[in-house]
Every structure is written in structure tokens, then in C-alpha cells.
Structure 1
Amino acid sequence: MSTQHAAIATLKDGITNQPRSLQKTIGPSELGTDCDHCLAAKLAGWQQKRDADWLPFIGTSVHAQAAEIFEAAGDRWLVETPVMVGWVGDAEVWGSSDLFDVQEGTVVDWKVVGPTTITAAKRGPSPVYYRQINLYGLGFRNAGHDVKKVAICYLPRNAVSLAQAVWWEDHFDPAAAQQTLGRANQIVDQINMLRTVDPAAVDVWIAGLPRADRCYDCARFADAPAHISSLASLVA
């Protein structure tokens, strides 16, 4: 095998098999999805195809570098903090929050995104991101912290400086976090009910659930329609 092929193959394998790619338990980012199909599939334990996803790897790498910077910046910042955001069914839901400003009581989430999302961020966060950041806020509150605000910092993946970054913040909204957990628990209740009748009915029900437009995860499941089989067309 040539150096070129060996190097690319090694990089792909490392990306595909890094801990974040292998995560199986559902977390705050998955709970916030606006795709009923994918949320139900994950809660039911469906297996997903694993790919060497370059754009998420860039985001993971930026998160790692940011963590090192803030860990060295002093006690004001809590970095990559594990938080328990609540319960779905009989399972605790944990996530790792990017940053918490102890001084201001603000939860911060980094988003490394392309120009389309940067432009949209100026109008405020998507419902998915809004649910996610408030779940992290709930996790910090559950841990005894005084959470006042939540913030999302959109870092420009394609820009040459941070001047194009977009910062959004608002008051912590615990009701939004509870609604997100409630939605997931309703789906779990339905899955459990169907399993008592006929386990095969679960798959049929999930396959018929609504899919969100441009859902990144839909193509990862075995029931993906042909028109969403290419992940490349789904990333903005």
C-alpha cells in the first residue's frame, strides 16, 4: 500500500473509531433533534452506519483546542464538564458541556459551522441548538450551580479570523429543557408499549415517523430513503 493510501486509511479509521463517533448512549445534542424518526430510532437502540465524517472531526478538534485554552485560563471557567440533564425512561442522560462561566452563571456551547449556518445564526439559534443548550443549563442546575444564562458561540469554519464569529445568549429556559425531556419520554413510552404487543411493530412505527428536512442522521439508518442516502448534500 502506498504512503498516500495508508495515510488516508489510517486517518479515516481514527476518525471513525474515536470515542465521540462510537458513542451509543443518547445525549443532549441528540435529544434536541427536530427529526422524530431519528430520535425514536436512537431511543430504540437502532444501529447507525459509521463514517469518517470530516466536518464533525474538525469541530471535535476545535473543541479540544478550546478546552486546553480555557483550562489554562483560570478558575472562572469549567471546561468539558459532565452533567446529568435528566431522565429518559429509566436511564440518566449525560452530556459533556463545553464551557461554564462560574462568575456570570453562563453555559456556553461552541458550534463550528459553515457560512450558511453563520448567516442563519444572526437571527438566533435553531430549535435544535436552543433545546440542547438549555438541557446543558438544566444539567448544571441539577449539579447545584446558579445558572442564569445560556450562550452559543458560532465559530466560522471557513473564515480566516474570529471576526465572523456570532455570539448568541439568552436567559436560561428550564421549561424548554423539560419539554425536550418530556418529548423523549413520550417516545420511549410508545416504544415500550409497542414492544409488549409485537417487537416488530416498533420498527414499522419508527420508519413511518416524520423526518426533518436536511436531517444529517437520517442517512445513517438502514431505512434511509434513496434521496437522502448521501450525507454530503446534507451539511451546511
Structure 2
Amino acid sequence: QLLLSSCSKDVKLWDATSILGGPTPSFEGCKAARFSNSGKSFAALSSESAGREIVLYDIQEGKLERTLSDTLATSTGRGHAYSLIHFSPDDERLLYNGVLWDPRRSEPVYRFDQFTDYGGGGFHPAGNEIALQQYDGNAIVDRLLQFLEMEKDYVTSEALLLVKDLLRKYPQWSQVCIATVGNISSNNVQEPKAKAALIWMLGGYSQDMHDAPYVLESLVENWDEEHSAE
């Protein structure tokens, strides 16, 4: 019987009957490994790719079988947070990060809509259904924008940073967010990083904000008084 362990840069296989003897094979450049249901292979995330790659290894041969590359995925900048890889009961499908794969093909079978990278999921034991943890994007964004309207400096500052991160990853929310961001008074934004976030949004989406030049003018006038955020 084999056990599987992984850290941020490698995966190790252990013989359960002789743990003190140390791991057997070690697989470099991957993390978050998971056995297939048959136990003949394991899937892991590549730790060497800036994008999202799943690597499949044959345990008996100790060789890389296939790499599944999600070219549409982007890095979140949070290397410590990721979803688990799920095998279907018959091992003919893989589910990771809202994307369904056939290990025999290089392209995804299906991409489920989801709002976040960290939505969980899994296969029904019968193998014919998938359960996904979904999020109501509209409700989340509406709640975030409500914080921008509270007119409290520390709340507005944190909300601006979150809105900036949201728009960088999901620019399709720009029209909803910018309508609220454009109404923020620069006097209510004191934190340097929050000001930088506001300037980024004013510059990137100024065509959707009639008051953008005036808000920028106010920020520039006080620029000499700014100190480094670091």
C-alpha cells in the first residue's frame, strides 16, 4: 500500500509498511498530488508553470504520462491557495478549478462558469454528475460596492484594493464597478495603496467616468505630500 505526500515543490511516494525507510520515488516540480481511484496513477499541479498545468504520472513506471495545460487560466498571486484535483469514479475524467478534462485529450472537455478560483467540487459516486461550489457574482460585487459608499476612510481604502483586484481578473465587471468608483471623493481616500488603486482605475476606465479628470486633478495637486506606501 502506498501513501502520497506533497509540499510546494515535490511529491513523494511512501510504502505504508516501511515508513521509516523513507520515500520511494520523488517527483520534482509538482504539488497538491492526488491518487486516481485505481491507484495506478496520480495527478498533481505543476509548481513550475506560471499558468495552470496538471501533470499525470504513472506510478508503476514512475514516468510523466501527460500534461494538461489550461491556457485560459491566470495566476492569482496566491500560490498557497488552490482547489483539489478530482478523479471521476472510473478515472476517465478529471475536474480541477471548474474545468473538466479527459486525460487522453490535451484540451478541456468543458469549462464551468465560476466566480472564483477557489470554488470546490467533485464527482457524484455514480460518475454521471458533478457538484460544484458556485458563487453569486452579482451579490458579491453589489456587497463590495456598498462598502465604497460608506464614506469611512479605512473601509473605502480596503474596498478600493479589492475592486482593483476584481477588475484586473474580471474586467467584465467594469461597468458595474466604475459607476460607483467614479462617485468617490478623493478626500475619502487617504491610504497610499488605495490612492494608487483609484488612480489605476481612473486611468484604465476614464472613458466610463465623466468626473475622472477632476478626481485625478485633486490627487495630483496633493502628490507632493505623499509618502511611499512601502
Q: What TM-score bracket applies, with the shorter chain setting the length?
A: under 0.3
CA radius of gyration, larger in = 2
Q: Please give the TM-score of this superposition, normalised by the length of structure 2.
A: 0.22
Larger proportion of strand:
2
Task: Considering Cα pairs closer than 8 Å and 6+ residues apart, tell me whether 1 or 2 has the greater RCO.
Answer: 1
